[in-house]
Amino acid sequence: MSILITNIKQLVQVHDSSISIVEGKNMNTLPILENAYVYIENDTIIEFGEMKDFSGIEAEYTIDASGKLVLPSWCDSHTHTVYAGDRTSEFVDRINGLSYAEIANRGGGILNSAKTLQNTSEEALFNQSMKRVNQLIEMGTGAIEIKTGYGLTVEAELKMLRVIKRIKQESQAKIIPTLLAAHAIPAEFRNKKEDYIKLITEELIPAAAELNIAHYIDAFCEEGYFSIEDTETILEVAAKYNLRPKIHVNQFNILGGIALGVKHNALSVDHLEELNKDDIEALKNSETMPVALPGCSFFLGIPYTPARQLIDAGLPLAIATDYNPGSAPSGNMNFVVSAACVKMNLTPEEAINAATINGAYAMGISNMYGSITRGKKANLIITKPMNHYSEIPYAYAHNPVEKVIVNGLLHE
């Protein structure tokens, strides 16, 4: 199947040669072509340029995008899209004054989601999760990292991995699976955390490696969850199975998780609502992408990642949804791009770079995703009529997406 899109008002994030990351000041540059076309064949971007240079390519299907923009699909590098049920009642508890920590201490939070997931069949878990993935695609997301972490037993974690594998097989979206081995300490291990870490390192990681689905290892490095030492033990074992870290750090407290991630060559360190100078120094000259999750800050009412400090220090930044039932029950990347501008003072250029090429980097796929480049995957957003890409973050909570092309297939 070949698709030609013509008369595009702005073709956004165009790069002649492949780029894999945008850092510091360069994040404020977002290359565009005005009055442009793009041509794709099967799952690949073949050609693009300005209409004035268009030499009349014949395609099986042509879309006239007059007055509309075309961008690379969003790359959402941090989600927990596979989960069972929801946590609406805890949402109401929080409105009535309980904190996220208080709810977790009463056996709510991650433990609540784990109980529901353990009691949900694999088929039902797949159906609930696949429905969410389809909604994400409609909102413009074409590549999605999905974590386990709501299993909290070897059996339930493997069930999550199999569900992620099936989504990967059946969805047109690019799916990147992560083993979130250490998400919370199950009630039965409350005073025996060491035993749970043993279960993770001696049983879960080897069993997960056997399934050969997960690309990355994750842990929630946080007070009341997993310490620096716990996290390091897990990362060291995971490294033997070629699982590179992408870790939850600095959400509520600074424990040194960023330096730990950098030491273990993490692909990304995520959350960073709390951040100090040492953290910023640790990230310099590393290959680790800092990832901010503004939807989580919005929903929990916690600080936003001080993204300006990161970018102004010359570092790159990615933004992601953190889509999960507890701290960010929305997978809408359009909102995340808005929140990054409104609440973290990113320019639209920085936010779109953070949500495309840098999001792709934070999944290890920026050689094939995250920009309009010849040879990259045909994952595109065609917007509703608008004049400029800045309208995407400006009109917050609007849906800017009219159509998407995912893996070369048109979804209208």
- Residue facing ligand NIG at closest CB distance: 326
| Closest to 179 in 3D by CA, of 193, 192, 164 | 164
Site string for Fe ion, 297-326 (x = CB under 5 A): -------------------------x----
Looking at the DSSP assignment, which residues form a beta bridge with residue 70?
11, 382
- Is 322 one of the binding residues for ligand NIG (CB under 6 A)? yes
Helix or strand holding residue 130 (H, E) = helix 122-138
Cα–Cα dist 201/207, whole Å: 10
Q: For residue 197, give Cα distances in angstroms to 83, 105, 156, 192, 234.
A: 22, 20, 16, 9, 7
Rounded to whole angstroms, the Cα distance separating 38 from 46 reads: 8
Per DSSP bridges, beta strands 44-50 and 401-406 are unpaired
Our CB check for ligand NIG shows the closer of 49 and 85 to be 85
Q: Pick the closer one to Fe ion by CB: 279 or 322.
A: 322
Q: Among residues 398, 332, 314, 367, which one has the least CA distance to residue 26?
A: 314
- The CA–CA distances, whole Å, from 407 to 48, 269, 319, 363 equal 17, 28, 22, 17
Binder among 151, 326, 348, 364 for ligand NIG (CB under 6 A): 326
Closer of 109 and 142 to ligand NIG (Cβ): 109
CA-closest candidate to residue 320, choices 77, 144, 64: 77
Q: Is 113 in the site for ligand NIG (CB under 6 A)?
A: yes
What minimum distance in Å lies between the beta carbon of 111 and Fe ion? 16
Q: Is 251 among the residues that bind ligand NIG (CB under 6 A)?
A: yes
Pairing assessment for the beta strands 401-406 and 380-383 based on DSSP bridges:
antiparallel
d(CA 266, CA 258): 9
> Which residues, in sequence order, are bridge partners of residue 5?
38, 63
Select the binding partner of residue 113 from ligand NIG, Fe ion, none (C-beta < 5 to 8 A, by kind). ligand NIG
Binding of residue 110 to ligand NIG (CB under 6 A): yes
Q: Is 325 in the site for ligand NIG (CB under 6 A)?
A: yes
How many angstroms separate the CA atoms of 295 and 323, rounded?
A: 8
Number of residues forming the site for Fe ion (CB under 5 A): 1
288 interacts with, out of ligand NIG, Fe ion, none, CB within 5 to 8 A per kind? none
Q: Which does 268 bind (CB under 5 to 8 A by kind): ligand NIG, Fe ion, none?
A: none
Which window, 200-208, 232-240, 275-283, 320-328, contacts ligand NIG (CB under 6 A)? 320-328
Between 322 and 350, CB nearer to Fe ion: 322
Query: How near is the Cβ of 396 to Fe ion at its closest, in Å?
Result: 22
Residue from 72, 109, 393, 408 binding ligand NIG (CB under 6 A): 109
220 scored as a contact of ligand NIG (CB under 6 A): yes
User: Which residues, listed in sequence order, are joined to residue 37 by a DSSP beta bridge?
Assistant: 49
* Angstrom distance (rounded) from CA 409 to CA 165: 21
154-170 vs 122-138: helix axis angle to the nearest 10? 40
Nearer Cβ to ligand NIG, position 305 or 379? 305
Residue closer to ligand NIG (CB basis): 126 or 323: 323
Nearer to Fe ion, 322 or 349 (CB): 322
- Let me know: does 79 contact 322? Beta carbons within 8 Å: yes
Instruction: Find the shortest distance in angstroms from Cβ 116 to Fe ion.
Output: 17
Nearer to ligand NIG, 181 or 405 (CB): 181
Number of residues that bind ligand NIG (CB under 6 A): 12
- What is the widest separation between alpha-carbon atoms in the chain? 70
Q: Using the rule CB under 6 A, is 79 a contact of ligand NIG?
A: no
CB of 31 to Fe ion, least distance (A): 31
Name the residue nearer to Fe ion (CB basis): 300 or 410: 300
Residue type, 238: A
Contact stretch for ligand NIG (CB under 6 A) within 17-25, 136-144, 323-331, 392-400: 323-331
Q: Which does 325 bind (CB under 5 to 8 A by kind): ligand NIG, Fe ion, none?
A: ligand NIG
How many CA atoms lie within 13 Å of 322's alpha carbon, on the beta-carbon side?
24
Name which of 222 and 350 has its Cβ closer to Fe ion: 222
Q: How far apart, in Å, are the Cα atoms of 239 and each of 201, 234, 245, 246, 350?
A: 11, 9, 8, 12, 32
Applying CB under 5 A, which residues contact Fe ion?
322
Applying CB under 6 A, which residues contact ligand NIG?
109-110, 113, 220, 248, 251, 296, 322, 324-327
